[in-house]
Structure 1
Amino acid sequence: MRFLDAVEYQGFWGSFWDIIWWFVAAFIFVAYLFALFAIIGDLFRDHKLNGFAKAIWIIFLIFVPFLTALIYLIARGKGMAERGAAQAKEYQAAQDRYINSVAGSSPSEEIAKAKSLLDSGAINQAEFDHIKSRALS
């Protein structure tokens, strides 16, 4: 007599608690993957750590993953946060520079430029009025 004949097989979705444990295990695995990718990203972001040390960390992450991730987060967690904040600040500065380079000037700046051109004689009053009306619209 086979074991499945003696016990009713419920399948994967047969028990509520089996489903709950499956979701808990999936959550822990996904959280571990997030931590692992954050550690690997931090390893490559750190310019002070030499290539040999990075390779050692990667090898230990492959062969002793949970213990190495825990040790890395304890030993280098503060520096990891500082490097992440520095990179975020660098991205923000680059984004601000780009926005300032493509954004048009304010209406008052355009009118002031047009007024200086009018005063210098580069444009006439009709052109100044056109620029002013376009800036105010």
Structure 2
Amino acid sequence: MNGAMLDLAVDYPLLNMFWTMMLCFFWVLWFMLLFRVIGDIFRDDEMNGWGKAGWTIFVILLPYLGVLVYLIARGRGMGERELKRAQQHEKAFRSYVQESAGARSAADELSRLAELKNRGDITAAEYEQAKAKVLTS
């Protein structure tokens, strides 16, 4: 068995291994591009159902030609839609973080103010002013 493995290694030169790796790389790259195009077709809100169906059929039946034509015809919009989607996600994430970090209840604020007053960090007048501000908001 060990001799058979050695013969296999000798019969498959380094350059052939390089070309096999390149083919695998391009095969994976092709599928990534194909899935990216199909994903863009279904995520496009401006395209109607018939347009989505037509592009999908074209990309599935003639994949190389379909993807090439899609990238030529709608490639610029593909990047713009992706940028718009990323900006919307960023905006939603920022609003979520601000909402989560800044959302304190009035009871929490009042207890914090009472603690500041008890420690002597604020005067009674400042405490009453801040308390009124918390209760009105």
Match of 2:75 in 1: 77
Does the Cα contact within 8 Å between 1:12 and 1:18 map onto a contact in 2?
no
Q: Secondary structure at the match of 1:79?
A: helix
Matched, 1:118 2:127: yes
Q: Which amino acid aligns with 2:58?
A: F
Per the alignment, residue 61 of structure 1 pairs with 59
Aligned residue in 2 for 1:130? none
Query: Higher relative contact order at CA 8 Å, sep ≥6: structure 1 or structure 2?
Result: 1
The one-letter code sitting in structure 1 at the alignment partner of 2:92 is: A
Count residues in correspondence. Answer: 110
Paired residue for 1:23? 21
Residue equivalent to 1:93: 91
Which 5+ residue runs of structure 2 have no aligned equivalent? 1-6, 104-108, 114-121, 133-137
Where do residues 30-45 of structure 1 align in structure 2 (5 Å cutoff)? 30-45=28-43
Residue equivalent to 1:5: none
Question: How far did 1:95 drift?
Answer: 0.2
TM, length-normalised to structure 1: 0.69
Greater helix percent: which structure? 2
Secondary structure in structure 1 of the residue aligned to 2:47:
coil
Q: What is the CA distance between 1:33 and its match in structure 2?
A: 1.1
TM-score, scaled to structure 2:
0.69
Distance 2:34 2:16 in 1: 27
User: In structure 2, how many angstroms separate the alpha carbons of the residues matched to 1:13 and 1:117?
Assistant: 87
Question: What is the CA-CA distance between 1:18 and the residue it aligns to?
Answer: 1.6
